Structure formats: C-alpha cells, structure tokens
Amino acid sequence: MARTSLCDWVLQCGVALKPLSDRLLVLLKRQAVIFSDDTTVAVQDWGKTCETRFWVYAGHSSPIIVYDHTETRAGKHPKGRLEDYSGYLQADAYAGL
C-alpha cells in the first residue's frame, strides 16, 4: 500500500472529525476547571525531525479531553484555544501563557 494513500486517509479522517473536536472544545469551555499541559512530539519532515507540541485540555466535571497539535510552544496557541473561557485553568508554571 502506498504511503501517500495512508497519509491521505489520515488527513481525510482529520477533516471529517473536526466538527466533533470543535464541539468537544465548546463543551469543555463550559466547565469551571480545565487542566492542561503540553508535551513534545517528534515529527519527521523530509529527512529531518522537527519538535512539535501536543497540548492536552481535560475537563474537571466530565470526562472531556481535547488535544491540539502545534508546531511551536508559543503561548498564542493555548490562548487562542481558550480565548473565551472564563473559568480556572490549572497548568504548570510555563511563562508563555
């Protein structure tokens, strides 16, 4: 099986599941407390490896978890995801937020 076919299928699944991810984020931001952290993920890019990030946002009162993949650790990424959130965010002491 061609690698391009597998990559295309993964991309198509991501596009198809985006409305579900968007809805989970809306429901998550209704909670009083959200827990968050990020972790590094190595991504292969044309013969080299790039360090990217997975941000995890977990609900307190119901089991909702939302993942966000970004190319950098810039604070603009979680700020953009949680821009209209008005509850408590529990995270580590990362100064970028």
The predicted pLDDT at position 46 comes to 81
Q: Taking the model in full, what pTM does it have?
A: 0.84
Q: Which residue has the tokens 């968050």?
A: 36
**What top-level class would CATH report for the domain 19-90?**
alpha beta
Per residue in 3-57, pLDDT (tens digit) is 899 999 999 999 999 999 999 999 999 999 999 999 999 998 888 999 999 999 9
- Of the two residues 80 and 93, the one the predictor is more confident about is 80
Q: Which residue has the tokens 């603009």?
A: 76
Domain limits, the chain:
19-90
| Strands 88-90, 33-45: pairing kind | parallel
38: DSSP letter: E
Taken as a whole, the chain contains a residue count of 97
